[in-house]
Structure 1
Amino acid sequence: MSFTNLGIGSGLPLNTLVEGFLNAERIPTELRLDSKEESLQIELSGVGSFKSALSDFQSTVDRLAADNAFNQQTISTSNDNISVTTNGFASNGEFDVNVQQLATGTQLKSTAFASSTTTLGSGTLTFAAGSNSFNVSIDAADDLSAIRDKINAESDNFGVTANIINADAGTFLILNSTETGSANSLSVTSSDASLAGISTNNSVTRAAQDAIINIDGNTVTNGSNEFKNFIEDVTITANSVTTGDNSTITIGQDTDSGRELIDEFVSSFNSLQDQLTGLGAPRLGRLAFDPNIRQVKQQINDVLLDTVASSGIGSLQNLGIELNDDGKLEVSRFSSDTIQTGEQRLSNALANDLEEVGKLFASDDGVAKRISAIVDNYVDSDGVLTQRQTSLNEQISDVGDERIAFNERLADYEARLIAQFTALDSAVAGFNSTRDFVSNALRTTTSSDS
Structure 2
Amino acid sequence: MASVIGGITGVNSGLPITDMVTAIVNAEKAPKEAQLARLEKSTTTKFSALGELKGALSAFQTAMKNLNSVTLFEARTAVSSNTSALTASASKTATSGTYKIEVQSLATASKVATAAVASGFASDASEQTLTVKLGAGDTGTAVTIAAGSDLASTRDQLNAALKDKGISATIVNNPVSGESRLVFSATETGAGKDVIVAGTGNLSALDVDGSIALSAGNASSAGYIVQAANAEFTVDGLPLSNATNKVSGAIADVDFELLAKTEVDKPITLTVGQDSTGVKASIKSFVDAYNKLIATSNKLTSVTKVGEDGTPLVGGLVGDSSVRNLLSAVRNELVNPSGHDGVRVLADLGITTQNDGTLKIDDTKLSSALQDNFDAVGAFFTGDTGLMSRMDKRIDGFIQTGGILEQRMKALESTRSDIKAQTESLDRRVEQMQARLLSQFNAMDALVGQLNSTSEQLSQVFANLPGVVKKDS
* Structure 2 Cα separation of the partners of residues 265 and 238 of structure 1: 37
SS in 2 for 1:418: helix
Aligned to 2:327: 297
* Structure 1 Cα separation of the partners of residues 269 and 142 of structure 2: 44
* Structure 1 Cα separation of the partners of residues 363 and 43 of structure 2: 46
Match of 1:11 among 4, 9, 14: 14
1:37 is aligned to 2:1? no
* Structure 1 Cα separation of the partners of residues 161 and 411 of structure 2: 62
Contact 1:10/1:429, CA 8 A, preserved across alignment: yes
Aligned to 1:336: none
Contact 1:70/1:355, CA 8 A, preserved across alignment: no
Q: CA deviation at 1:270?
A: 4.1
Return the letter of the residue paired with 1:68: L
Contact 1:6/1:425, CA 8 A, preserved across alignment: no
RMSD: 4.9
* Structure 1 Cα separation of the partners of residues 403 and 413 of structure 2: 16
Aligned to 1:220: 240
Question: Which ranges in structure 1 are unaligned for 5 or more consecutive residues?
Answer: 332-341
Aligned to 1:285: 315
Relative to 1, partners in 2 of residues 1:13 and 1:181: Cα closer, same or farther, differing over 3 Å? same
1:96 is aligned to 2:126? no
Return the letter of the residue paired with 2:266: N
Describe how 1:8-407 pairs up with structure 2 within 5 A: 8-58=11-61, 60-66=63-69, 67-68=71-72, 75-77=79-81, 80-87=84-91, 91=95, 93-109=97-113, 143=153, 157=164, 163-168=170-175, 170-171=179-180, 174-182=183-191, 201=207, 204=210, 205=224, 206-249=226-269, 251=271, 262=283, 265-266=286-287, 268-281=289-302, 284-306=314-336, 308=338, 313-316=343-346, 319=349, 321=351, 329=359, 349-372=369-392, 375=395, 378-379=398-399, 384-386=404-406, 388-389=408-409, 391-407=411-427
Contact 1:282/1:289, CA 8 A, preserved across alignment: no
Question: CA offsets, 1:276-316, max 9 Å, x none?
Answer: 23323489331123343233323323432445467763443
SS in 2 for 1:7: coil
Q: CA deviation at 1:216?
A: 1.3
Q: CA deviation at 1:102?
A: 1.2
Return the letter of the residue paired with 1:225: N
Q: CA deviation at 1:378?
A: 4.5
Sequence identity percentage: 27
TM-score norm. by structure 1 comes to 0.73
Q: CA deviation at 1:44?
A: 1.7
Question: Which ranges in structure 2 are unaligned for 5 or more consecutive residues?
Answer: 211-223, 305-313
Contact 2:171/2:181, CA 8 A, preserved across alignment: yes
* Structure 1 Cα separation of the partners of residues 51 and 270 of structure 2: 48
* Structure 2 Cα separation of the partners of residues 18 and 125 of structure 1: 107
SS in 2 for 1:245: coil
SS in 2 for 1:313: coil
Question: CA offsets, 1:178-230, max 9 Å, x none?
Answer: 3333476667899xx799789x9566433433222111122222232122342
Contact 2:197/2:209, CA 8 A, preserved across alignment: no
Structure having the higher Rg? 2
Q: CA deviation at 1:46?
A: 0.9
Aligned to 1:339: none
Question: CA offsets, 1:48-89, max 9 Å, x none?
Answer: 221232234345435533433685758342684333444577
Counting matched residue pairs gives 433
Relative to 1, partners in 2 of residues 1:166 and 1:319: Cα closer, same or farther, differing over 3 Å? same
